[in-house]
Amino acid sequence: MAVTAIFKCQKCGNEFNATHGDLKQAVLYRCEKCDYIQLIPRDSPAVIGCPQCGGKFKQGLLPMCPKCKSRKVVEKEVLSYKD
């Protein structure tokens, strides 16, 4: 299940909206460097690099704070769920 939520950065205190988690048919990958999000179907053979910065996609990363680029974030309030 993918969750859209308000996250709070534990480093700088910034609050921001982000989505994380996987869908039934697709896995949510995030770019290590710039936090670009891409949904990739579960039966897809390969994961390509980030189209924005060329960084590596990883599964299961927490969202990145857009202000200080920290991933030390906590989910504060869930806004919506998606399967």
Q: Tokens at residue 77, please? A: 């309030």
64 binds Zn ion (CB under 5 A): no
Q: Give the binding-site size for Zn ion (rule: CB under 5 A).
A: 16
Q: Which residues contact 59 (CB under 8 A, 6 or more apart)?
A: 22, 27, 28, 29
9 binds Zn ion (CB under 5 A): yes
56 binds Zn ion (CB under 5 A): no
SS3 content of the chain, % helix, strand, coil (to 5): 0, 45, 55
> Among all chains, which residue has been given the structure tokens 């990145």?
64
Piece of 15-23, 27-35, 56-64, 74-82 that binds Zn ion (CB under 5 A): 27-35
6 binds Zn ion (CB under 5 A): no
Binding site for Zn ion (CB under 5 A): 9, 11-12, 14, 31, 33-34, 36, 50, 52-53, 55, 65, 67-68, 70
